[in-house]
């Protein structure tokens, strides 16, 4: 990342810190934090039971459900669904899981980001990796964004946030006029009810979910027992990600669009999707360390991480940023990917754990992973040289 981008990112992070400090320290947030910790632990300990239950619940609700063991499995399922609709353009909502499987690079059709930050990065074309799970373009100042929008959309907006928003919105809506397929992730999944919870401020998920086919790709770690549990998780995520108690929108999807207003006969496809297809993704989660799967995606760890604030999104894996992303890369990919994602960048200071609402011990996880990485031959070459010198000369020099 450029020096100017790092500076802008740090300013954005400072804004989030100042906005969220009082809320995070409130008694209600402390109670919510404890509740979510209990929910995530219970969900992990009962993951097989919840997985089987949610499949039954989805089917009861008229939601089609698929299981993808790997990212390629998920992409193959998506390809098949898109072919059924002969889709040439897809409406996409922000999703770290879709970034995990590299959806946009895989598809050969027009995938239009509906989230403003993601759309700006998409228009940027190069060096367009996000820097925060809920604020992907937090490293770009308004002059940078103005230049990107004017060049990519062939418009002439001023460096004004309202003008930029209107220009991007008009372009997105025009491009999606004939789109029949929408794709998104989910923030949490309620096993008992068979409901998927999605939070957003822009109203864009409503656009995605109104297409004829709504594909939802979510990790199996998103499954929790009840809708009340799912709401608790997204509330806590919002507090730690944005400094607000709730987002503008909270969508709960429990099936395709339907009505029974004519003689109480149930018919589908009133205004929303005629089909909802959920793809439950494993992709290494079954083998992952328990605490890694507690993550709710708030990004508070990287906001406070000294390494991330120094180097930016070089520290992390795909859309999973910072130390937790490095840890997950071992299970999503392999030891080499984990090493190359920044395994030895971490200072092990523990600020990530201190500022994580789930108290994920990321520094301890990475320290243990370094030992395992060394055993399979992935370690800094300078460390190897020191080891050899000690063996030969009884000195590191």
**Residue 87 belongs to a domain:** yes
Last residue of a domain, one of 286, 321, 340: 286
CA distance between the termini of the chain: 34
- What is the DSSP secondary structure assignment for residue 137, as one 8-state letter? T
Query: Rounded to whole angstroms, what are the CA distances from 284 to 28, 241, 292?
Result: 34, 25, 11
Specify whether 280 is located in the same domain as 188.
yes
Task: Give the separation between CA 236 and CA 243, rounded to whole angstroms.
Answer: 10
Domain count, the chain: 2
Last residue of a domain, one of 232, 263, 286: 286
Specify whether 277 is located in the same domain as 319.
no
Q: How many residues make up the chain in this entry? A: 397
Tokens of 61: 């609700």
Q: What is the CATH number of the domain that holds 94?
A: 3.40.50.10420
pLDDT, tens only, 157-210: 999 999 999 999 999 999 999 999 999 999 999 999 999 999 999 999 999 999
Specify whether 102 is located in the same domain as 217.
yes
Specify whether 101 is located in the same domain as 77.
yes
Specify whether 235 is located in the same domain as 326.
no
pLDDT, tens only, 338-358: 999 999 999 999 999 999 999
Q: What is the pLDDT of residue 235?
A: 98
Question: For 50, phi and psi rounded to 5 degrees?
Answer: -65, -35
Task: Give the separation between CA 338 and CA 330, rounded to whole angstroms.
Answer: 5
CB 191 within 8 A of CB 224: yes
Q: How far is CA 23 from the centre of its chain?
A: 23
| Predicted TM-score (pTM) of this structure | 0.94
Question: For 196, phi and psi rounded to 5 degrees?
Answer: -115, 130
Has residue 312 got a pLDDT over 80? yes
Q: What is the pLDDT of residue 383?
A: 75
Q: Can you give the residue range of the structural domain that contains 346? A: 299-386
Q: What is the pLDDT of residue 393?
A: 80
Specify whether 308 is located in the same domain as 282.
no
In DSSP notation, 97-142 reads HHHHTTHHHH--SEEEE-SHHHHHHHHH-SS---SSSS-TTTT--H
If we measure between CA atoms, which residue out of 196, 182, 294 comes closest to residue 250?
A: 196
Specify whether 79 is located in the same domain as 188.
yes
Specify whether 271 is located in the same domain as 208.
yes
Exposure class string for 131-159: b at 16+ Cβ within 10 A, else e: bbbbbbbbbbbeebbbebbbebeebebee
Specify whether 322 is located in the same domain as 273.
no
């Amino acid at each position: 990342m450029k020096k100017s981008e790092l500076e802008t990112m740090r300013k954005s992070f400072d804004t989030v810190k100042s906005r969220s400090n009082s809320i995070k320290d409130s008694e209600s947030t402390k109670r919510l934090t404890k509740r979510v910790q209990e929910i995530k632990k219970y969900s992990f300990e009962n993951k097989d039971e919840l997985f089987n239950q949610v499949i039954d619940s989805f089917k009861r609700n008229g939601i089609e459900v698929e299981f993808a063991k790997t990212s390629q499995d998920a992409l193959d399922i998506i390809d098949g669904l898109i072919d059924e609709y002969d889709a040439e353009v897809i409406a996409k909502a922000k999703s770290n899981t879709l970034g995990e499987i590299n959806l946009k690079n895989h598809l050969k059709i027009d995938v239009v980001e509906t989230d403003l930050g993601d759309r700006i990065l998409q228009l940027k074309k190069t060096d367009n990796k996000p820097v925060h799970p809920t604020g992907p373009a937090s490293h770009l100042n308004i002059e940078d964004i103005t230049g990107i929008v004017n060049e990519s959309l062939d418009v002439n907006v001023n460096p004004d946030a309202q003008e930029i928003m209107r220009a991007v919105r008009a372009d997105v809506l025009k491009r999606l006029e004939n789109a029949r397929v929408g794709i998104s992730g989910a923030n949490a999944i309620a096993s008992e009810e068979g409901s998927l919870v999605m939070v957003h401020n822009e109203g864009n998920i409503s656009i995605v979910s109104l297409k004829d086919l709504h594909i939802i790709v979510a990790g199996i770690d998103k499954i929790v027992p009840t809708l009340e549990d799912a709401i608790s998780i997204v509330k806590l995520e919002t507090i730690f990600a944005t400094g607000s108690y709730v987002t503008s929108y909270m969508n709960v999807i429990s099936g395709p669009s339907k009505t029974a207003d004519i003689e109480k006969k149930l018919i589908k496809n009133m205004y929303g999707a005629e089909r909802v297809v959920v793809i439950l993704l494993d992709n290494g989660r079954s083998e992952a360390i328990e605490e890694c799967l507690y993550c709710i995606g708030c990004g508070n760890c990287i906001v406070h991480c000294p390494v991330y604030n120094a180097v930016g999104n070089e520290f992390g894996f795909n859309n999973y940023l910072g130390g937790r992303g490095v840890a997950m890369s071992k299970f999503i990919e392999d030891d080499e990917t984990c090493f190359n994602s920044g395994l030895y960048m971490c200072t092990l200071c523990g600020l990530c754990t201190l500022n994580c609402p789930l108290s994920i011990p990321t520094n301890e996880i990475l320290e243990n992973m370094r030992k395992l990485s060394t055993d399979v031959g992935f370690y800094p070459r300078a460390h190897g040289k020191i080891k050899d010198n000690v063996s030969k000369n009884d000195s590191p020099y």
